[in-house]
Amino acid sequence: MTGRLEGRAAIVTGAASGIGQATADLFAREGAMVLAVDLPGKGLAEAHDHAYVTPFEADVAADGAAERIIGKAIETFGKLDILYNNAGVSRNALAEVMTDEQWDITLAVNLTGPYKLCRAAIPHLKESPAPRIISTASVMARMTDYGLSAYCASKAGVAGMTRTLALELGKFGITCNYIEPGAIHTGMTGASFADENIATIWAKKAALRRLGQPIDIARGALFLASDDAGFVSGHGLTVDGGLTLRT
């Protein structure tokens, strides 16, 4: 039996831990050749022992990073079928005291970096028989909370960018979708959820009464990357265990 992504070439950013690590490994188990991207010093190589996963250290927000990342994928695999923009940061601060640096890094990593990767990937995706662009947004793309002005703006931007790309690229058969995770236990949220009281509160908010795990989002990404989602484009897939049902 072949995997659902057999023979396809994929890029997964933010792949040293959490959602990115789970997705890169799941894609590889399903037959994809994966370029796993994350910052230097994040233990990227140690996070992946699958023969189909190639680690590549890069900062998605750095000048020229998109061209280097896409170029590495083409050099390594000879093609590109799937781009999964997953790398993300959060700099929480009330708007009145948020610094320019906090705002700029959040937008650079969460929105501008993915846009530049999409732009660099499009010419290669046009050559793929099953091209996919997937990005990690958040339920905060359409909700909010204190201190999240930059984060919410960046994730709403991911949603708007993805819908526009879906419209522009549909004639080439390129599907473009985004995922809206809820409360997921990842590296970004680990410090907060290490507090049992906080973890319990957020688990109770979800209809399924638990925190999400990285594999929950990875499975959603696999669906959007697979042939099963061949007629799905411009869609935001909410994977939140029912967190947003009552809010």
Catalogue the active-site residues: 151
The token duo for 95 is 């708007």
The SS3 call for residue 164 is helix
Sheet holding 33-38, edge to edge: 53-57, 33-38, 9-13, 82-85, 132-136, 175-181, 236-239
Sign of CA dihedral 89, 82, 183, 26: negative
Three-state DSSP at 12 gives strand
Q: Give the chain's count of helices (H) and strands (E).
A: 9, 7
Pull the structure tokens for residue 99.
Answer: 């610094």
Q: What is the C-alpha to C-alpha distance for residues 152 and 73, in angstroms, rounded to an integer? A: 30
